[in-house]
Structure 1
Amino acid sequence: MQKFLSLLFSRRALAIVGVLVLALLVWFVGPLVSFDTLRPLASVGSRVVTIALLLMLLVLWLVNWSMSIIGISVLCLAIGFVTPLLALGDVHPFAPLWVRLTLIGFILLVYALYGLYRLWRALRMDEQLLRRFLHPRGEEVPVAGEIKADLRTVNHIVTQAIRQLRQLRVDMPGWRKIFEGKRFLYELPWFMVVGSPGDGKTTALLNTGLQFPLAEQMEQTSRILTVPGGGTLHCDWWFTNEAVLIDTAGRYARHDDGGEASAAQRNAGEWQGFLGLLRKHRPGAPLNGVILTLNVADLTAQSPAERLAACAALRARLAELRETLGIRFPVYLVVTKMDLLPGFSEYFRTLTSHLRAQIWGFTLPYSRRRKAGDPQALHAACAQELARLTLRLDQGLDTRLQEEYDLKSRQRLYTFPREFAALGEPLLEAIEQIFLDSKFDATQLNNTLRGVFFTSAAQAQADAVADQLSIWQRFVRAIKTARGESSTSLPHALPDGNRSYFLHDLLTQFIFREAHLVEPNLQWAWRYRLLRLGGHLLVLVLAFLLWQGMQTSQQTNGDYLNEISARATRLDGDVKAYTGKPAMAPVPALLDSARELSAWPELDPDAPPLTWRYGLYSVPPVTDSVASLYNRLLDQLLLPPLVKRMEYVLADAIARQDSKAAYDALRIYLLLNLDKDHEDKYNAAEIQSWVINDLGNSDSVAGFGGRAAVLTHIEALFDGSRVVHSPYEKNEALIRQARAFLDGHTSTERIYARALAAMESEAPQEFTLVRAVGADAGTVFVRSNGAPLDRGVPGIFTREGYRELFDKRLPEFVAAATANDGWVMGRESTPKKLTDSLRSQIPGRSSLSPAKSAVCT
């Protein structure tokens, strides 16, 4: 379950989910995103291309390939589709297609040349890659297959180490972990231990007294210390709470150590591959320092030619580290197996564990700048420091002789200062050969040697005599020569103790604390600085654009609000003047001013330009307030005369004995005087139709200045968005008078007319000659009354309308019309006898039957 949760919330899973969410946003929200009038994701093609780029970005990130392909693609797309919008004054330099194609071609050419340059560098540094490139179908050298197998093993080791480092607790906020996902790689310093086979590198690391918190490494440490030997196969990663130590195999340092040419080639390929993995996973600073080991046995037993070959190999490895990793790092030269010098154990056996943990050696100044000086300066400085160490040993010799009672032990410790002094000559030669300053090495800015230190991790039953010129050593060599034995070979050194001398503080108090001395990869550092500079510039540009946009928006919205305020002040004065002297003539002008109060040239309130936005857009509250003000003015200025007009029309219809006009006026009047329980009966369309018809059939609009002046305001008043109520009390006397007048007239025709009006929305199309004959009907037929041929019999009066609608659903519509009529006439319900009478009268009356009406027509 834990593995499943770790996989579910891994960076890869979160990246996949994030890309999917972005793709969904691009597809569904992208068409709504606009920059002023530009909608870059409005078309399906642009969204598909954007989603494809997101998916390509995800794939490149998952396989750890270069992201530059995405950058180049986005840049070319921007040049193709965005640059035509750029202008310098009235000139659009990128509008011509050939200009954009030329610029895109130039960018692709530069990118291709850069890729060829990278390929040339890779081929120059990797001989195997060059061979495969020149002979892609040639026979594969067996060594190449072995190198691939070794590199797979090394890659697995490095991947496991990186996976272990991911578990490192990094003390930083959660939001920074998203943007600094590889911070864990730089949380602890990395130090590589490099040395020839048999230098005791692993033994030295395990006997330093460092704590390895991982359980599997505890077991591995115990196993190695219990059963020594075997050496490091490839590279072992040792994790402490202070640093990461990379223990490399001895064959990494000496590719041709006693082996064949194929083995040397295999070791070199594995070493280069290992360095490439380090640079790939930790490009900023693959290492913080190198611990270079030399063992006393090699220094004392090797001939000058052998020592030169060994030093040349170590010098080459350091140069490859600097060149491949692209960094400059301090080198700590550690002389191991000091216990092989005669008298070492006896001289230092009285030291406590605290004293044995201290540092024995000397440091050299480390400068970040190249200093021109004497090429022999390093040799002289090291010789001077070794002389001081020898002098310190001589000064403590008398005290140690007095403390030691065993004669044999006193003899051995007495020779130790001389042996140490004799060790200085081969050591100085090795230092000079490894760290000699070279004007032909561009990666070695100056001497990178930080210090020379002497250690012993375990004691062996063997001696490595450094003073070969003493009388006793001459006598021993002469006897060995007479017997035919080698005078320089050492017997097999079996461990006789596991005391560590001068190791613990060297690592914890000195080397680990100098992790900052490394100079990071210059290319990576410049790229990182360039990205940071670009990011800062981008932030500054965005901040400037935001500031400028806010300034523009503030100015635009401020001008708008000032103008609206001035208009509102003028409107308020006009309304007050109207209130003091009411009249119908000024009403349309006042309503026009109120309706246009929030209007602004070239401004669409629902889609404002970008210059109005930036969080300062103030139009919506103004338009809402203006709409509310306009509705109030409609209710206060326009509605009262319309209600008075209805009362006048209703009274006039009663006086003229016009039942139809009286009924229509009464119904509209009642719709404007509904109580809350009957607001569901409100029908704005009927009110608007009646008012507009009344305006067209009378002189009621004369006071407003004509029909056109007030028509739009009437449509706005009765647009159905709200229930409009009469501003006056309901005239009950007039209503009773109208109902009494209508009660004296039959309701059959009235209800029939209401039923037909309700059927019109569901009736079939009109029957016309144009539909029956065709477009050429006008060449043969003409209507006697001069009406156009595209006007004919209403659908309700056709055969289909009569049979399918009128005849079948007449009771339904009659019942609805009867109920509505009962509400207008003030009756709770229409008597059943009246309803049955109406149903029986309608089909039988020639003036009401649709079939007969159609025939008459």
Structure 2
Amino acid sequence: MSFKAVGKFVSQKWFVSLIGLIALSLMIWLVGPLVAVAGHEPLKSETSRLLVLLALMFGWGVVNIRQQKKEKKEEDESIQNLLEVNAQDDEESAAEIDLLKERIDQAIQVLHKTGKRGKQSIYKLPWYVLIGPPGTGKTTALANSGLEFPLSDSLGQDPLSGIGGTRHCDWWFTNKAVLIDTAGRYTTQDSHSEKDSKAWLGFLGLLKKYRTKRPINGAIVAVSLVSLMSQTRTERGMHARAIKARIQELKNQLGMQFPIYIVLTKADLIAGFNEYFADLEDEERDQLLGFMFPEYSEDEKGVISLFNKEFHHLLESLDKRMNKRLEQETDLDKRALIFEFPKQLRMLQANVDEFLSDIFAKNAFEESTMIRGVFIVSAVQEGMPIDRVMNETSSGLGLSQLSLKTSSKESASFFIRSLFEDIIFREQFLGSVNRHHQKQNRWVKHGALAFSLASVAAFGAIWFQSFQWNKQLITETDVRIANIDEQVKRIDFDFEDNLVESLELLDEIMGLPMGYAGYYEDVEGIKKFGLYQGDKIGQPAKAAYHQALNGYFSKLLESALISEMEASQSHREYLYETLKTYLMLFNPERFDIVHVESWFELYFENNFPGEFNEEKRASLMMHTKNLLANDDLGLYVNNDAVQDARNVLTQLPLAERAYQRMKLQFIKSHVPSFRITDVMGSQSLSQFERKSGKPLSAGIPGFYTFNGFHSIFQMQIGRTVKNLMEDNWVYGDNIDIQAVDHDLAVKGVRERYYRDYIYEWESLINDIALKSTPSLELSLIQSRILASSERPVESFLKAVQKEVSLTKVSLSQNEKVAAEVATKAADVALHNKKNAIGRFMPTENTELAINLPGKEVERAFEGIINIEQQDFELINQSLVGLREYLSDLSSSGNNQKLAYKSILDGTVTEDVARSLKRTNQILPAPFNRWLVGLSHESTRLAEKGSQNHLNQIWKTQVVKAYERSIEGRYPFNPSAKNEVNLKDFKRFFGYGGTLDSFFSDYLEPFVDTSGRVWRFEKEIGVSPETLAVFQRAEKIRQTFFETDNSVKIEFGLRPKYLDQHISKFKLELGSQKLVYSHGPERTQNLSWPSSKSETRIIFIPPNSSREISHTYEGQWGLYKMLDQSLKARPETRKDNIVMIDLKGNKVQLELIPSSTINPFWSNDMERFTCPQTL
């Protein structure tokens, strides 16, 4: 919509008044309560304001209705003025209008009889009016158009009037439209202008009256080509102005815009027409000869400016076809006419263009017309054709005009039918509607809209809250549904693989507003005022939840039952309960809601254990209960699974089934579970843990406790076996289990119960352990707690003694036990519990022993039951001794040194160990391991303290000296440039040196050095690998140091080979020399180190004073020379043959050590390192 249209819309009176009404209504509703007149507030209540608003709306509506009636009256008067004839008018005009009225009445009656009843029947078919000067062939064109006239049987082929010149107007009823053929005099109005004008306007008034909404669907302007050829320019101009006037009158009087089709008739009177189109068949004659204009044109002259262009295209198409026709035609005269036919039309082009321009050229004072096209037609072929080409040629040459022959061929219409059916009738909705009618309807619509808007404004304040609440309800529902859709796409309802997502989906569906969970259902008051959507939202939400339960969740539960049956083939007792639960789902008579819910609750607990899954289990149970509340679960029995389970169960002992049934029923009884947290204080609990990682609060079910044994197992064992023997329907109709011995089954149940009872307690006892203490401080804290007044070890053992001593209860305890039994049993959801408990309650106060079943359990825990009070005192004394020992270590200012001395002495630790060992012999497993662990822990802490003490001295005395003078230097690093000074070497490795002193002072008392590998005789917290450092240092000491702690290496060198081109070889080791000149091989004894700190080798060629020499700098020069030789010849390490090669000059020397310990080429120094810690 353009801005101009919007501006026109908002500037209308009704819209402006509506805006004012809405503004006034809002002001009354919002400001009204604040207005007071003489202390009275007339608009304070909502009711008074509503009445005022209703009155305003009523007044506004009355005013607009009156305005509408006024305009309707003026419109009717204008129509009546067209129809009425003044008294002074002649009677002939009045009679003619009456005749037109009679004709239109007849036409409408025909439409009523053949179409729908009522007003719509006149709109079913489009109406077209034909106008044009007299004699243009309008009627003939219709009569020979080839259109179908379905009313010809009742009305005849002729229209309502007849053929032979239209006197007034003729009505032609085709199967697709109504064509109104008007008299030519209505168009020209040149004979009796006033009379014809009144008749014409009266005709328009009738159209407007009887077909108010759309009087016509289009206009067809017929123009004779003969007239255009024969008339003068003045005559053509008169006809053009008359047609233009009629078109404007149609538009103005009918108040609408409509398409106009120009039909050029009598084309057969153009010379050559008949001959040119003589070859056309019937269907080809129905096609179009003309062209269409676009609806709109940007040219300032309008679409009519396109006429010459389109007409030229038409002529081109005729020229193209002319050659074909000339080839087909043999008659020379006809061929001449065919050849000249396009020229005949071309000569008409100017006249037609001028004529149409006079009618349809744009005018600033007139509304433009909607001309749709120009078409050439021929209805009959009679009369003498006109040959303008030959006439002009003859006139120019001074020849007489040629006479043309009339057509002797039977007449046929050309180019009419398709024009109507394919062009005109198909554009029946192209025109607009009557503006007055449209305005009238607009008033009605606007009035209704205004009333609605005013009503919304009046009731908006009341509906606002309801709207906001319901909008929030819908928004929340949409958000929830969108979330559900996303979850559905993600999991595709595959519950087994996406149980968590599926559960969330069910929760979402259940939690839909107004849905199954009942959110927002209890609403009242203004929330339901007209806009309440709860019912529309609630029913689908509930249905969706039930569908999800029956369609998907039920499959999950069934799958769980079937999978459990398949997986529990080796656990037949559980298989029985699972099969029974499954069959109950399909047997309403046997269905036990408590039993089914109990099974699923146990299933969810087993598959989703722990506190972390507690919320998930609760949600699953909620959906399960909701599903089970339905009559139809949407499931079908899986007979194969049932039969497989029954086949297995028939081999399951009755005792096993009875025991498993008791477990399912009572494993979660109200008898409290045994928890270590109930028998130890909080400080004691801080020192214990469970090896499995379970929390200490996780205990043993009450079913396997002393109270559970007496209040549940003893009472229910017989009843359970009896009930199970009666459940033969679970096994099938062919199974008879009544013959099974009842007492034998009870015995079997006891055996299984005792087995699990023992297992539960052994598992708990073996799972409890003391926490490890990584530091002396934590060990001291642990020992203090264990030796405290809480006595956690004793408390736990006594609690276990009570729970596993099932056969004897002293009479002094009878009343307490019986009271506990009765209290716990009252909490169990079983029938007649109190009466059954009464049988176990004592009736006399005498000292005696009550023998009860349970000896099997006592035999399993005999070692624990036999612990007496004096044994507990001895345990406590050992723990006190350990506490005092650790306290002494902790209270010393230098506890690490003390720990080292305690290990060195061996007195205190041995006393503690002996005490704990005696206690260990009293306690059964696994409690004895607790104290063994304590003993080991105390020893470990002493060793740790000793190690820390030694590490401090090691770092201070040894590591610093090593890093300062030894580390990274030659010969400990063969590639290093810097070397170890011999004084530092002696100070670190010599007798009484740094390493030797540390070993003698701190480690030697604990080390056995007699073996090939040194080892610790007693653990002091030092790593065994550390001894390798001291053992390697001892080897270095023995190699390099004499008994007087001096560094001295004695050895001999014997020349073995010298190159022939060398006359003499010298080796200078300080002041010591070896000289060889190819003589006898004599051994030269040498020693290291020498007085000078360098080693030099010299090669002297014969008859030359030039020496070839190399010097090895430093105190370790000899070793550098030997290392270089070793690199060149690795075999030297084995045969002691030293190969010296200096610039291609070679000599071989045999090195002869002075002792069995070879000080050369040993890797002890290269492998030696000092660790940072021991």
**TM-score, length basis structure 2:** 0.33
- In proportion to residue count, which structure has more helix? 1
**TM-score, length basis structure 1:** 0.44
Quick check: which has more Rg, 1 or 2? Answer: 2
